[in-house]
Amino acid sequence: MLQILSVREAFLVCDRRGRDFSVLALIHTSMDIPARLVDLEPTLTLEVEVLHRKLQRARKNG
């Protein structure tokens, strides 16, 4: 589940799956946030899937 969290003068774009939580991007509040998210969106989905697979493999091996 994609989440956007406000932290001081920034927003964290995060993915949460069960007990896993990954920070995907840090966006300063001075930026055009909707436009920045549109720029990031094509790769965010891919990055989430890659991170999720790595976490699953690490759990199996560790």
- The pLDDT of residue 32 is 86
d(CA 10, CA 20): 22
Give tens-digit pLDDT for 18-61: 888 888 888 898 988 888 888 888 888 888 888 888 888 998 98
- Count of domains in the chain? 1
At 25 the pLDDT is: 86
Report the pLDDT value the prediction gives residue 21, as an integer from 0 to 100.
85
Question: Exposed (0-12), middle (13-18) or buried (19+): which is 13, by Cβ within 10 Å?
Answer: buried
Residue 45 lies in domain: 2-61
Residue 62 has pLDDT above 80, yes or no: no
Of 41, 49, 57, 60, whose CA–CA distance to 17 is shortest?
49
* pTM beyond 0.85: no
Task: State the average pLDDT over residues 2-8.
Answer: 89
